[in-house]
Amino acid sequence: MTKHVIVIAGGLSHEREISLESGQRVARELTSAGFNVTVSDLDPSLITLLKGADQPVVFSMLHGGVGEDGAVAEVLDLVGVPFVGSRAVACRASYDKALAIPVAARAGLATPARVILPHDMFRDLGAPNLMGLIEDRLGLPLVVKPSASGSALGVSIVERIDDLPIAMVNAYAFGRTVVVEEFIAGVEVAVPVFDLGAGPQAFPPVEIRPQSGRYDFEARYTAGATTYICPARLDDDVITACQTMAVEAHQALQLRDFSRADIIVGQDGPVFIESSVAPGMTETSLVPLSLETAGQSLSAVLAQLVRLADQRQ
């Protein structure tokens, strides 16, 4: 009998639109692989759908918020439905940069110098005092980003200290905690990791060259605004180092099935930025491009993930 796959997409996060696109793409690929696919939003009808389906497998393409912070994984465990992707506890640690970066650093990965603070601290201690300390510690330029968000939403690169306050306010629009990092100049790459049954394996790094110089929301989701080169134009040993870093991050964060590591190759080598547990699968996303370059079919790889999840019942 044809396996029923329920793709969850949409949700109420700031990345809803991207999630819907990713979900449709995954649904198309799994349908072409022969599965019976239903796409569902994250709404009250979902539980009924999950409980009423005949031994379904869930493939969540929810980006941001409850989709990546482990909440949906927790619910799927509660319902007792097997699903593709990382378990709740790993999602929680990976999605929140305030938790993930220290884990990666402890595992020996190079990470940017950073400060992670809730907005209450600025209010209680005085923003000018704290911002001064941040500048002293990290210098300029700085990268300001929400602790838990994706798609570059709320992210700013601050080159002048006068621009730091507005960058902080913009980042806090997406959550109560903000990460301020040193800016790493270098080649930006994304490295997909898939575990197709033989342990986590890194795929070719995708080099990201936004025309504007910044890989912001517009550069990510406007076709033509960014040039992607796969594999990245890096020396073989650097490519290997990036792939090793991606796999080590996947393992250190105890991720499952697949992830995408964002890395910047700076003067001193690769620096780990973050790993995503639900990387985008839109037409402009990086994971499908990397798979294609490696001679893999996205459809076949996603199908294998579903089969592996099904075996975990």
| By the rule CB under 8 A, 173 interacts with other proteins | yes
List 45, 129, 222, 311, residue binding other proteins (CB under 8 A) = 222
The token pair that represents 31 in the structure block:
């349908």
CA distance 244 to 107: 12
Is position 165 an interface residue for other proteins (rule: CB under 8 A)? yes
> Which CB, 52 or 295, lies closer to other proteins?
295
Direct distance between the N- and C-terminal alpha carbons of the chain, in angstroms, rounded to an integer: 17
Among 218, 235, 311, 312, interactor with other proteins by CB under 8 A: 218
At 248, is the secondary structure helix, strand, or coil? helix
Distance CA 47, CA 53 (A): 10
228 binds other proteins (CB under 8 A): yes
**Contact status: 199 vs other proteins (CB under 8 A):** no
Contact between 153 and other proteins (CB under 8 A)? yes
Q: How far is the CB of 36 from other proteins (least distance, A)?
A: 26
CA distances from 265 to 111, 174, 291 (A): 11, 27, 21
For 92, half-sphere exposure in the C-beta direction (CA atoms, 13 angstrom radius) is 8
Please report, as a single letter, which amino acid is at residue 187.
V
Question: How many residues sit in the footprint of other proteins (CB under 8 A)?
Answer: 56
Which of 221, 234, 258, 298 forms a contact with other proteins (CB under 8 A)?
Answer: 221
169 binds other proteins, rule: CB under 8 A: yes
Applying the rule CB under 8 A, the residues between 282 and 311 that interact with other proteins are: 283-284, 289, 292-296
* Interatomic CA distance for residues 8 and 182, integer angstroms: 35
| 15 sits near other proteins (criterion: CB under 8 A) | yes
Exposure string for 26-57, b = 16+ CB within 10 A, e = fewer: bbbbbeebebebebbbbeeebeebbeebeebb
The answer to whether 257 and 309 are in contact (CB under 8 A) is yes
72 near other proteins, rule: CB under 8 A: no
Does the footprint of other proteins cover residue 14 (CB under 8 A)?
yes
**Identified binder of other proteins from the candidate list 106, 137, 166, 312, rule CB under 8 A:** 166
Rounded Cα gap, residues 295 and 306, in angstroms: 20
d(CA 118, CA 256): 29
Q: In whole angstroms, how close is the CB of 86 to other proteins at the nearest point?
A: 21
Residue from the set 48, 55, 129, 227 that interacts with other proteins by CB under 8 A: 227
Residues 37-56 close enough to bind other proteins by CB under 8 A: 43
User: How far, in Å, CA of 157 to CA of 291, rounded?
Assistant: 30
- Contact residue for other proteins among 88, 225, 238, 308 (CB under 8 A): 225
Q: Which stretch binds other proteins (CB under 8 A): 81-89, 119-127, 136-144, 265-273?
A: 119-127
At 9, list the tokens.
Answer: 């997409």
User: Given candidates 35, 95, 174, 272, which one binds other proteins under the rule CB under 8 A?
Assistant: 174
Helix 88-95 to helix 71-79 angle (10° resolution) is 170
Provide, rounded to whole angstroms, the least separation between the CB of residue 1 and other proteins.
33
Q: How far is CA 58 from the centre of its chain?
A: 19
Query: What does the angle CA 11 – CA 13 – CA 14 come to, to the nearest 5 degrees?
Result: 135
The label of the residue with tokens 């999602």 reads: 91
Cβ 210 to other proteins shortest distance, Å: 11
Residues in contact with other proteins by the rule CB under 8 A: 10, 12-18, 20, 43, 119, 122-123, 127-128, 151, 153-154, 165-166, 168-170, 172-174, 201-204, 216-218, 220-231, 233, 240, 243, 283-284, 289, 292-296
